[in-house]
Each structure stands twice: as C-alpha cells, then as structure tokens.
Copies of this chain bind each other. A is one copy, B any other.
Amino acid sequence: MPTETTLSGSDIDRAFTVLFNLRDGKSPSQPSTKRYLAGVKEMFVDPAAADRILEKENPLVYEFHELGIPSDPGDLAFGTSITNPGKVAGEYYMTKGHFHQILETAEVYYCIQGHGMMMMESPEGQWDCQELTPGKAVYVPKRFGHRSINIGKNPFITFFCFRADAGHDYKTIEAKGFHKIVVEKDGETTIIDNPRWK
C-alpha cells in the first residue's frame, strides 16, 4: 500500500506504527527491558524467600517494551508491560513501580491479557488499588505512583500511554516501598499493610 511522507525536522515529526502483539504483548521491533528476580528481590517483603528460589533459577519477573519518544509535553510515550505469574512467599510478582518526575501527570493502562492489579499511592500516602482484566483500562491519576501486580496464572499484559516528558522516579519507591502489598493468603488475593514500609 503506498504511503508517503514529506516531513523533516525534529526527531518525532513523522507518523509511524509499532506492533505490540495482542496475545503476548511483545514487540518485534522494540527490544524489551527485562527485570529478573535477582535484580528485584529487594522489592519483596521476604528477600530470603527470593534467595531460595534463586538457588534453582532466576525467573523473569517482568519486562516492558517502550519507545524512545523525546521528552516533550505535547508528545506521548507508549508501550506494553508484561508481568509474569509467580509469587515470593505469597507476594505476587509485580513491577518496581514508579512515580512520574513531573508528578502532575496521569497515565493510562489498557489491559489486553491476564489478571492483575494496579497499586497506586500518592506522596501524601493516599492509596488505591484497581483490578484489571482484559478490556479494562485504568486511569492512574496525577501524583500517584503505580505498580502492576499479576494476581493470575498467566502473564498480565497492559498497553500504556503517558505524557512523554513525565519522567520516571523509581528511587522513592525503592527506598520506601508502597504502603500496601498484595499477597495470596488462605487462597485469597488480599491487600495488607506492608510490614517493611518506611
């Protein structure tokens, strides 16, 4: 099919398409950033339980595909997030989670596969947690750090979009954790206080 572009100038003044497979979330053109258990074990309440898993294997906890969109307030960054099923001492596999460096920017996640939760928390300690299944979009309000958590048996996959200049602050959550964590307890998915929250 014929297409034509006559643009030149800044990095991102041309239209383009990117494939993010609806079944597995993968993009053949955009390499993913992968987080294996050994690199993220400290985000779990019980890192010693993670060490026991790591004696046998170093599973992939999550990965995400994204684009190098320049940091411009008129632009949008987008991609897919894939969190694998699994638990560390009952605590479900999850992403590190992040605030936006520009706190007053929202984010949208559209669930395309799996069963998960979006845990959210503001710097003032307000929190919310929303359940996601395929077809559900979650609106993450401005100011809310957020983390994807897989509470199902298959990969939990979302398509995400945020303002391209929002930026990522991972350090606040690495240092403090979230107020709440999600665990399987007596066979039920349960939100409990994070005993390690600082």
Q: A interface vs B, CB < 8 Å?
A: 1-7, 12-22, 67, 69, 72-76, 78, 102, 104-108, 110, 112, 117-118, 120, 122, 126-132, 134-144, 159, 161-164, 189-191
Which residue of chain B has its CB nearest to the CB of A3?
B129
The answer to whether A76 and B15 have CB atoms under 8 Å apart is no
Minimum CB distance partner of A75 in chain B: B106
Q: Is the CB of B20 within 8 A of A108?
A: no
- Residues of chain B within 8 A (CB-CB) of A131 are 1, 3, 17
Given known pairs A76-B161, A159-B159, the reply for A110 and B20 (CB within 8 Å) is yes
CB of A102 within 8 A of CB of B74, answer yes
> Are A74 and B14 in contact, with the CB atoms below 8 A?
no
Q: A74-B104, A142-B75, A159-B137 are in contact. Are A130 and B3 (CB under 8 A)?
A: yes
Contact B106 A74 (CB under 8 A): yes
- Complex interface: chain B residues within 8 A of A117 (CB): 1
CB distance from A82 to the nearest CB of B (A): 14
**Which residue of chain B lies nearest to A113 when distances are taken between CB atoms in the complex?**
B22
